Amino acid sequence: MDQRHREILRRHRRSLVTTLDTADICDGLLSKGVFTQDMIDEIQNKETRRDRARALLIDLETRGSRAFRSFLECLRETGYDDPAGLLENGDGAHPPCAIPAQPSLIPLAVQRPKYTEDPDRPVFMPPTVVPLRPGTLPVPKPVSPPYEEENLKPTRIRRDSIQIYKMDANPCGICLIINNVEFEPASCLKNRNGSNIDCDKMERRFKALNFKVVVKRNLKCKYIRHEMSTLAKEDHSLYDCCVVIILSHGTEANHNRFPGAIHGVDAGVVPVQIITNYLNGQNCPSLQGKPKLFFIQACGGDEKDTGFEVSPDEVQPSMGGADDQMDAMPMSSSSDSLSTSDEPDARATLPTPSDMLVSYSTTPGYVSWRDTEAGSWYVENLDRVLEQNADTDDLVTILMMVNDAVSQISAKGLYKQMPGSFNFLRKHLYFQKP
């Protein structure tokens, strides 16, 4: 809203609060798109009519350039012609009549009245008038029109009830990196050239964020489970967070919570939902109430996203590397590879875990691109955004920045990639400053 319109509303707020019944105009403001239903409900929940009117006027100032005119229309439509005219005059729609300049008034000294002998019947005598010369009295400074005390307060108080995770332990927590590069010939999976670049970046970055980093390379399926089980049995009571980064081939998998599965170097798979279950509140009590973060650089399937055409102003396209490869394999159909009946530490039927966030390099079902010389698009941008923004922005904001950056890259001038996350965090998460 223009500052001029805000001043008009504030100047006449007292009279509007006195006369306005919000029940008469809320429907009109809702239909004109000035307020949402939630805002209307919040206004109507105020205890008194005056409180409701005051809240409406304060919120109105935040509702954009058309809010003032829409408010005038609603007043006219509901019979509040006088308040509407008052506001229109202030807006200059109907200029008020010019008032002729008044002559300067010079105050006169007045003597006390004289009384007769009868005190019950005073007789007022004409006062002796003593003219004063101009300039003999100080000229008072102009006084700004008095506003209500509430005008000195911010026009809208931001009510942010979301808390922040404690993240000041030293070290902050354990960061486990599983880096699968060289796959067994029988697996029919290509080696993931360039993954060591990703691993080095993540190791340096999370050490800079004050994590104790543990790197495991070229793990078979059963050893991925073993490392997760070992991590779950650690005593995390002195830590504030736990991070797992997995760099490997991936595939689709049946799931009821977190999609996708990770390949071991032997081509066996571990569903992501099982990996996360190792660290949930039941299987790892020392991490209860603490954030558990998973960053997955792997394909979610074998589909390739060719994107859709948009205005050049919408994105700043960039090309991928000269040798982009995929971390994909067709969807696993083996019920044995997805079974959890032989794994007591990881039951997929547990309730949805809280305080977890799983960030995927790509959309479920689609391939994830990796440059053999520069590393994967996702990790490269995750590392860069963390370096630039970890000391100012929360994790969810950082991941949106990564999403935006990766979405503007193209493989072979054609294929696209869109990261995403499943967020079960309950609070804001800010990393320690590097």
Rounded Cα distance between 334 and 263, Å, is 13
Rounded Cα distance between 63 and 40, Å, is 13
Specify whether 428 is catalytic.
no
Rounded Cα distance between 334 and 267, Å, is 12
* Confidence grade of residue 177 (pLDDT, cut at 50, 70, 90): very high
Domain boundaries, the chain: 3-91, 173-423
* Confidence grade of residue 1 (pLDDT, cut at 50, 70, 90): confident
Task: Using the predicted structure, report yes or no on whether residue 304 has a pLDDT greater than 50.
Answer: no
* Confidence grade of residue 107 (pLDDT, cut at 50, 70, 90): low
Specify whether 299 is catalytic.
yes
* Confidence grade of residue 142 (pLDDT, cut at 50, 70, 90): low
DSSP single-letter state for residue 164: B
Range in 69-83, 154-168, 338-352 with the lowest mean pLDDT: 338-352
Q: Which residue has the higher pLDDT, 346 or 85?
A: 85
Rounded Cα distance between 368 and 383, Å, is 17
Q: Residues 172, 249, 263, 284: which is the catalytic one?
A: 249
Kindly report the CATH class assigned to 173-423: alpha beta
Q: Which stretches within 62-124 are classed as H helix?
A: 67-77, 81-91
- % residues pLDDT > 70 (the chain): 69
* Confidence grade of residue 155 (pLDDT, cut at 50, 70, 90): very low
Handedness of CA 15, 18, 24, 28 (dihedral sign): positive
Q: Residues 26, 175, 241, 299: which is the catalytic one?
A: 299
Say if domain 3-91 classifies as CATH 1.10.10.410.
no
Highest mean pLDDT among 10-14, 68-72, 296-300, 383-387: 383-387
Closest CA to 368 of 422, 415, 333, 412: 415
Question: Do residues 218 and 265 touch, judged by C-beta distance below 8 A?
Answer: yes
Q: What distance, in Å, lies between the first and last C-alpha atoms of the chain?
A: 40
Q: Which residue has the tokens 């979610």?
A: 300
**pTM confidence score:** 0.56
